[in-house]
Amino acid sequence: MNAATTSTLNPLERVVLPSHLKRLILTGFMGAGKSTVGRLLASRTGWTFLDLDTHLERRAGATIPQLFARLGETRFRRLESTALASALASTNTILALGGGTPEELTNRLLIEQTPGTFTIFLDAPFPTLFDRCMLQDIARPVLQDPAAAELRFAHRHPLYTRLAQFVVDTADLTPEVTVKAILAALNQPGNSHS
């Protein structure tokens, strides 16, 4: 889809989302732009932005790197699942997942079985995502080994795709154009019914 030309939405207008929707979920690998796009979507719709990593950190009273170091990844993933279940209770919310959240079957089922949820996959090739992450000042334990991170990306890619009702290739898009593409898709009759 050519996101730049398919939307006629005015970027200053408040967007009203279809009434059956209760939350939008943004998924994708680290560096996909989930938080940036999520904040922009929240400001366009008037909905609340919730970042699952931040939600988890607040609940646990520790940062993501501290949790990885203290608990190891398996226990971190358990905390992430309980944080997800709690986050899914919020309505009128734009929820940005962690890059690894869809790896757990429990998490995918939770998302798929929560009514009023529309999931969007922000896609891009691994080298683009990796370069974007290198420019960000965010500590990400699973990026310490780039080769292992690329394997994770390959494993997760089909999971992100299957979970989402809409996929945007963000490689050549600004966050603003990505938001435009998402809002246009949500306002296509029938498109946001899962």
30 binds ligand S3P per the rule CB under 6 A = yes
Position 185: which residue type?
A
Least gap, CB of 60 to ligand S3P (angstroms): 12
Q: How far is CA 180 from CA 7, 59, 168, 177, in A?
A: 6, 33, 11, 5
Selected from 21, 37, 44, 53, the binder of ligand S3P by CB under 6 A is 53
Least gap, CB of 170 to ligand S3P (angstroms): 14
Choice between 62 and 142, CB closer to ligand S3P: 142
Q: Taking a C-beta distance cutoff of 8 angstroms, is the pair 38, 94 a contact?
A: yes
Give the neighbor-by-neighbor strand order of the sheet with 23-27: 48-51, 93-96, 23-27, 117-123, 166-169
DSSP state of 101: G
Least gap, CB of 194 to ligand S3P (angstroms): 23
d(CA 14, CA 152): 37
Choice between 17 and 56, CB closer to ligand S3P: 56
Three-class DSSP category at 162: helix
**x/- map, 136-175, ligand S3P, by CB under 6 A:** ----xxx---------------------------------
- Of 64-103, which residues contact ligand S3P (CB under 6 A)? 64, 98-100
Residues paired with residue 117 on neighbouring β-strands, in sequence order: 23
Q: Taking a C-beta distance cutoff of 8 angstroms, is the pair 156, 99 a contact?
A: yes
Choice between 17 and 50, CB closer to ligand S3P: 50
Least gap, CB of 64 to ligand S3P (angstroms): 5
**Footprint of ligand S3P (CB under 6 A):** 30, 34, 53, 64, 98-100, 140-142
